[in-house]
């Protein structure tokens, strides 16, 4: 939504943006399942499988995938977008959600449990698991305005960088925050022996790396001449958030 406004969009972008959130919600429901992270708390409430059972949670997640497509098409229609643009958006969103993005990153995450990873390996995992969907959100906002490919690429880069900053901050918060603050179970990474930026780099170096990613994200905006105080503030918020 911020990208759309920054590039001059004036329509109601919220229904289109909701497609990204539907994919995100599906990922959280499945991420919490016993076969994945086996978590009991999400956003301060019992996880879906704890409230309704594993079978219901599993099916709910699957059903949200085609729902996201329907939401995307409906939101694009409200903006009067051409069919080719909608197709490019769908390819972006579901590519980010699939094996080259979120699902592939989750597989790397599960395979890495109990192992030490290098910074490059961690980056590869989280560019897929976390960064891909955030980058897709930025790209969808750009494509909704008819932005040229140079700006689309710059905004994808912006999304990828703030995605990594988000994940580094998440790793640090998991190690230092409380469940009440986070709205999810704190200290889970250590108990599950997950490889994180916090353990691979140490807290101080991890914070410095997150700040470097934010700087790179803002540089993407500057080089593409995207003048948006909100996008800059969103990038810096990745370092400041507490939940």
Mean pLDDT, residues 110-118 taken together? 84
Mean pLDDT, residues 107-123 taken together? 86
Q: 65: burial class by Cβ within 10 Å (0-12, 13-18, 19+)? A: middle
pTM passes above 0.75: yes
Span 219-228, pLDDT tens digits: 999 999 999 9
- Domains of the chain, start order: 2-240 (1.10.600.10)
Select from 4, 22, 21 the least CA-distant residue to 13: 4
> Is the C-alpha dihedral spanning 77, 80, 81, 82 positive or negative?
positive
Q: What is the per-residue pLDDT for 183?
A: 61
Cβ contact 117:125 at 8 Å = yes
Which residue did the predictor score with more confidence, 183 or 41?
Answer: 41
Q: Hunting for tokens 């709205």 — which residue is that? A: 183
Which residue did the predictor score with more confidence, 44 or 2?
Answer: 2
Select from 104, 81, 107, 79 the least CA-distant residue to 94: 104
Q: 148: burial class by Cβ within 10 Å (0-12, 13-18, 19+)? A: exposed
Helices (H), the chain: 2-6, 14-31, 48-52, 54-78, 83-97, 102-112, 119-126, 132-143, 149-176, 179-182, 188-191, 197-201, 203-223, 229-240
């Amino acid at each position: 939504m911020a990208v759309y406004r920054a590039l001059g969009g004036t329509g109601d972008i919220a229904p289109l943006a909701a497609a990204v959130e539907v994919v995100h919600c599906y990922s959280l429901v499945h991420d919490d399942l016993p076969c994945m992270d086996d978590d009991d708390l999400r956003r301060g409430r019992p996880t879906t499988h704890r409230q309704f059972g594993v079978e219901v949670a599993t099916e709910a997640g699957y059903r949200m995938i085609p729902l996201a497509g329907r939401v995307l098409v409906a939101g694009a229609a409200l903006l009067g977008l051409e069919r080719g643009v909608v197709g490019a958006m769908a390819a972006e969103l579901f590519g980010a959600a699939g094996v080259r993005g979120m699902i592939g990153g989750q597989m790397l995450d599960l395979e890495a449990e109990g192992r030490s990873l290098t910074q490059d390996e961690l980056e590869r995992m989280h560019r897929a698991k976390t960064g891909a969907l955030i980058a897709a959100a930025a790209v969808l906002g750009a494509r909704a305005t008819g932005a040229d490919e140079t700006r689309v690429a710059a905004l994808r880069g912006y999304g990828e960088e703030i995605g990594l900053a988000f994940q580094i901050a998440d790793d640090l918060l998991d190690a230092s925050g409380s469940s009440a603050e986070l709205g999810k179970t704190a200290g889970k990474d250590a108990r599950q022996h997950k490889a994180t930026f916090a353990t691979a780099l140490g807290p101080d170096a991890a914070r410095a790396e997150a700040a470097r990613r934010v700087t790179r994200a803002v540089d993407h905006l500057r080089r593409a001449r995207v003048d948006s105080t909100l996008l800059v503030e969103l990038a810096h918020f990745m370092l400041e958030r507490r939940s």
